[in-house]
Amino acid sequence: MKNIVKDWILLADNDLYSAEVLFKDEYPRTNVVAFLCQQTIEKYLKAFLIENDIPLVKTHDLNKLNIMVKEVKDLNIDEDKLDVINEIYTDSRYPGEVGLLPTGIPTDEQAEEFLEFAKEIKSLILKEINI
């Protein structure tokens, strides 16, 4: 495995760990948990692409990344879930915009679903890059 792939996985693991810690907090910040889950998935997908010698594209769009992944191998990623969590990313860091769904702050249940989905993506990717 390439060192850069290890770096992407480390960053993804850090985001996932942080999301889990925040979710378990007495006052879970579901918008931040959701944002970190989106970031986690993005980084795992990019690690897969780099491992497979696909040039890195500067995008945060999980759907675009998944299309690129599918050109290498279809990992059967749940595209409906991917669509929902893809809505989380924002280029803005202004109050009221970070980690929000079109309907607003994610519920605890949604945040938990995002966490589980991020873990699923991690498992799929790590099987493919033999870590």
From first to last of its 131 residues, the chain has per-residue pLDDT tens of 689 999 999 999 999 999 999 999 887 789 899 999 999 999 999 999 999 999 988 999 999 999 999 999 999 999 999 999 998 865 545 555 555 777 778 899 999 999 999 999 999 999 999 76
Q: Which two tokens stand for residue 53?
A: 């010698």
Terminal-residue alpha carbon distance, the chain:
8
Q: Which residues, listed in sequence order, are joined to residue 104 by a DSSP beta bridge? A: 101
Question: Do the beta carbons of residue 130 and residue 6 sit within 8 Å?
Answer: no
What 8-state DSSP symbol labels residue 125? Answer: H
Domains belonging to the chain, first-starting first, are 3-128 (1.20.120.330)
Length of the chain: 131
3-state DSSP assignment of residue 19:
helix
3-state DSSP assignment of residue 14:
helix
